[in-house]
Amino acid sequence: MTPIDFDARFSRWLRDFLEENQDSFTDVAQVEALMPELYDRFVTSPADWLSGLAPAHYFDGLSVQALVNWISQYEAEGVPVPELLLDTIAREGARARDALIMLIADPQASIPARMMAVNLLREMDQPPPTDLYIAWQIDRGLEDELADCALEALEAAGETPVPEMLEALPQAGEAGQEALLSVLSRYPGQPGVYEALIRLFDAAPARAAALAAYLGRLGDERALPALVARAKEEDLSYIDYIELRSAIEALGGEAPERDFEDDPAYRALSGTE
């Protein structure tokens, strides 16, 4: 078996179908409305380029591990990973969890392949490897797409990983703390969350906008003095001020009035440029 570009094959099939049936369609909207039905017809019809096999059955009979390995092979060869493959893996349910986690944890695999496995595991509603996802947050930088993908999965997991995230919080650097706190701020009353957030807010003024949003979401009024003080700073940007004002108002406070007429972002948003 070789990686087949099913997207390209469908595009070719669709083009031929429309040429053969051009008198049946009056506008593009008609074709768009029929697209799910046309795709279903494509994947269930025997194909000459598959020796008479329907595309929907191309991955039938493969082991779970072989199916998951195909994700990496498609990525390695630069061929779009087909939805048919992902759907086949998803149908395996819990049987596919271990193989997907192996791919997620494999440092030799490509980042896109690992992210695809993270998202697929989440879409399948299978328990995530929270210890691994949290470890990625501890050592992460501000820009880390794999850690971001895992963070979304942690957030989607609800309160289950919260105790582990709280335990990991003191071990993380600033970027890791911010990431963990972005999720923990959704659960008011958790021990140490407010203290960690306010420390980070004081220590990382460049991240004021995001951290203010988390403080506002947490709902702890003790943050008001720090938020108001930051909102008064002379070198504050308009974008940061908007987030600070939203957080202050969410906590029942009143933001200081400011003049941002010289701020490029203010002028762009107000249409005064």
pTM: 0.87
* Mean pLDDT rounded to a whole number for the chain: 94
pLDDT digits (tens, 9 = 90+) for 191-242: 999 999 999 999 999 999 999 999 999 999 999 999 999 999 988 999 999 9
Q: In 3D, which of 153, 116, 113 has the Cα closest to residue 131?
A: 153
Taking CA atoms, 193 is separated from 56, 108, 166, in Å, by 48, 35, 8
Q: Rounded distance, CA 55 to CA 57, Å?
A: 5
Q: What confidence category does residue 32 fall into, taking pLDDT thresholds of 50, 70 and 90?
A: confident
Are the beta carbons of 71 and 81 closer than 8 angstroms? yes
What tokens were used for 100? Answer: 């997907």
Structure tokens at 135: 């470890």
Q: How many other C-beta atoms are found inside a 10 Å radius of the C-beta of residue 181?
A: 24
CB-CB neighbours of 36 under 10 Å: 9
Q: Token pair of 168, please?
A: 């990991």
The pLDDT score that the predictor gives to residue 21 is: 85
Collapsing DSSP to helix, strand or coil, 12 comes out as helix
Model confidence at 126, pLDDT cuts 50, 70, 90, reads: very high
Angle between helices 145-156 and 111-123 (to 10 degrees): 10
Residues 164-192 pLDDT 10s: 999 999 999 999 999 999 999 999 999 99
| Residues whose CB falls within 8 Å of the CB of residue 212, separated by 6 or more in sequence, listed in order | 201, 227, 230, 240, 243, 244, 246, 247
Structure tokens at 246: 């939203």
Report residue 272's pLDDT band, with 50, 70 and 90 as the boundaries.
low
CB 56 within 8 A of CB 84: yes
Tokens 């709280």 belong to 166
Residue 230 DSSP symbol: H
